[in-house]
Every structure is written in structure tokens, then in C-alpha cells.
Amino acid sequence: MSKIVTRFAPSPTGYLHIGGLRTALFNYLYARANGGKFLLRIEDTDLARNSIDAKEAILQAFAWVGMDYDGEVVYQSQRFSLYQEYIDRLLKEGKAYYCYMQKEELDKNRKEAEAKGQVWKYDNRYRDFTDTPPAGVKPVVRIKAPTEGEICFLDGVKGEIRIAAKELDDFIIARSDGTPTYNFVVTIDDALMGVTDVIRGDDHLSNTPKQIILYQALSFVIPRFYHVPMILNPQGQKLSKRDGAMSVMEYKTLGFLPQALLNFLVRLGWSHKDQEIFSMQEMLDFFNPNSLNSAPSAYNKEKLLWLNAHYLHKLDCKQINTLLPFYGAEIPNQRAQEILYPEIKERSKTLLEFVEILKTCLTSVVTYDEKMLQKVKNEENIHLLKEFMIYLQSLKTPFENVQEAEQEIATFADFQGIKAKSFFMPLRFALLGSPGGVGIAPLMSALGAEVVIERIKQALEILSKSDS
């Protein structure tokens, strides 16, 4: 078996979305698992619609998820002279020809056919044209497609595909301004880059017979094709931005981890027994494009959140600290990290949630929940908070860990003749200003007695103001 060479070839007319990243991942896994090459090509021949930002975002996405590629990035916009050589070759060999039929006439014929309920296709009128070319008309170049027989290929996902030659026409390979068309440049590039296997979305299935015609016309080796069904929303419709069809880098902004996103995507269209969680090494060990599903996959946000929580929980303090600056969070001291991070991880599905809870814990309370304030605002709770502040100030040695903080709360409750649980709500109000969040003892231990006293003092001022 020859060395596997795969490629990912996005167009920079828009940002890289998760469907594209899934395609890239399948190609990456197949090449890497077999000691082959994974190539990256930017299909930027549409000069009017290209976006430099989108081009950069594609490279950023690859860097973020940790998918490397072999060699330099190939840009189609830098290869126009190469494409022209092959167009000239096909014209010289009589396998392509100039077509002088103008756009207005094509549009008219197409509309007339549609009005009759017919499928329109070009009638090959200039296929064997030898007369004097019409003056002032810039021709397109068309390939001479076969007029009989079938175009056949074995698709690794969909099985054998047969297309009757009569269903195809002499399609355009170069526009009237000289720029080559999509199917032409893809065929040239895949052949010259030595691509052996093309894994792509099944929206490209209709392009494959045309590309095979070009492979044959140029005597190129035809690669193996795998056309993967699209990712659909839970209702079985095309994925929209609301469903999750965002750019890959938006997932980073929303607090998702790259390993969770890749694990999520690999399961959209591929499976290995009943396994749900895959490390990158396991993906490499088990992935085979012949196991790709022929049925479409449904996007499931809850599944992605579940996976993200799984990977988030596995991060240690050092790993989390490298991620926090992106989300505008300051890295707390070592003690706070060791106490709070495990607590917050248990309550978070994304890094955004993690950061939000962390900031709530470590930042002085600015706003107090009104409903909670009304519940806490009574003489008994105000008295308990005042007494607890005095109790903390009297401690000779500050609590050093969560267990000691728990013990101080329990000792204070016994002294006051109350259950410790009944004191949690007013204390939580004083320390966080809202319900939820981490446990009270871990929070006290992370903050230290001085900060706890300051927050109680501030809360008492709020409670006294609401009384007046």
C-alpha cells in the first residue's frame, strides 16, 4: 500500500466552522495513524470574496486544537500560472475547447428549460467548432466530457457510485477572464500534491464525477474518495449558527477545550464499539475511514458540554492557569488555587463558567441579590454576622485549611446554640452576595480571615441601609 497522503482544503471566504474541522480531523487521523502526510491547502482563487481574517482564523484554529500539518501551506492564488499550463495542455491535446456562448444566451436557455420542467445542460455546440471565432467575445474553456458510458467510482462511505455520461455536460474549466474553476484546480492540486485519499463532506459528491473526468484527461492517478454526511441539527435540518455552526475560534471564546471539541467531532460520523471518550492517541489507534457512518449525525450541545466538563475536571492547577488570561481572569495565589479549583471544576462545564465562579469568589461583592437580601435581613442574622466577625477577630491562629474553617464555623454555631447549616445563608450572602457558588468552608479557607471579616463588615452596612 502506498503512503497515505490526505489534505484539508478550506476556502477563506468565511471562518472555519466545526463541519470543516471535523473533515480536517478525519483526514488528519487517517494520515497520522498510517505514518502518512497531512497537507493544508487554502483554496483562495475567489479573489473577490477572500478574507485575510478568515485565512488567519483557519491557521489559528489548527494551532488551537493542536493539529499539525506537513510542509508549507499551499495557497491556490499563488498557482495560477501552473493551472494555465494544464489548461493549455488540454486545449493542445484536443481534450478541451473554447466556447463562445455568452452568459445571456446561457441564462435564457436555462430559464426556458426550467419553464418546461426540464433539466438544462449545455448542448456542446462549440465542441467541434472550427469556424472563425465571433468578434469581441471572450470565450470560456470547456472540457470534452465523455458522451457515452458511465463514470464509476467506489466511495468509502457510500459504496459504488455510477453516473451516466449523458447526465454530464462539457463543463467549464476556465472562465472568460482566464481564471480556472473550482473542480479544475482541485484536481490539479490533489494530483500534484500526491493526495491518495480525499475525505470530505457529501456536499462535494456531485463534484467527484467531474474531477474524475479531469483526472482521466490528464492521465493522473485517481485518489480514493470518502464522502461524509453533513452534521445536522437535532431536528434533522441543516446546522445553523444557533444550533452550533459557529466558527471554531468562537468555541474557544465560549470556554470549550480543544480536546473536548475534537472528541465531540470524531463521534459525529464515526464510532468505535460503545466508547464515548477518546484521547488523541486512542483516536489515532482506532480511526479508520472505512468505519465512517453513511447516515447523517445530529449535533448535541448537551453531549459537548458533558465532554467539556469531563476534560475540564482533568486539568491541574498549572494547566488551568495557562488558560485563564484568555478569559480576563487573574491567577490567584497557590493556596486559593489548591482549594478553589477542585470546587469550581465540579460546578463548571466550560472555562467561562469556571472563570465566572472564580471571579465571584475572589472579587469583593459589588451587587447583592435582592431576594437573598430580603431573606437574610432580620435581627437574628445581623446579630450572628456581627458575632462571627468578632469571633474571627479573636482567633489567635487563622484557619489554614478547609477542615479548620469548617471547625471554626461548627464551634461558633455551638457557642451560639444554633445549627451550623442555619448560618450558611447569611454567611454566603456576606461572602458572595448571591446564592450558589462554592462551599462556604473552602471559600473562607481560600480568602483568609481578614478578607472574610471585610466582606462581613460590608454586608452588615448593606443590611443596615436596607433597614432604614
Domain residue spans of the chain: 5-75+230-305, 79-228, 315-362, 370-467
What superfamily in CATH does domain 79-228 come from? Answer: HUPs (3.40.50.620)
Mean pLDDT, to the nearest integer, of 108-129?
86
Q: What is the residue-wise DSSP string for 182-199?
A: HHHHHHHHHHHTT--EEE
Per annotation, catalytic residue among 108, 138, 166, 241: 241
**pLDDT confidence of residue 420:** 92
Confidence of residue 115 (pLDDT cuts 50, 70, 90): confident
Residue position matching grid coordinates 494555465 = 84
Q: Quick check: 468 pLDDT over 70?
A: no
Q: Are 222 and 32 in contact (CB under 8 A)?
A: no
Tell me: is residue 37 an annotated ligand-binding position. no
**Topology of domain 5-75+230-305, CATH:** Rossmann fold (3.40.50)
Backbone angles phi, psi at 150, to 5 degrees: -135, 155
Fold type of domain 370-467: Arc Repressor Mutant, subunit A (1.10.10)
CB within 8 Å of 2: residues ≥ 6 apart: 196
C-alpha cell at 7: 489534505
Pairing of strands 5-8, 37-42: parallel
With 0-12 CB in 10 A as exposed, 13-18 as middle and 19+ as buried, what is 384? buried
Say whether 79-228 and 5-75+230-305 share the same fold.
yes
* pLDDT given at position 467: 60
318 catalytic? Reply is no
The pTM of the full predicted model, rounded to 2 decimals, is 0.91
pLDDT class of 73 with cuts at 50, 70, 90 = very high
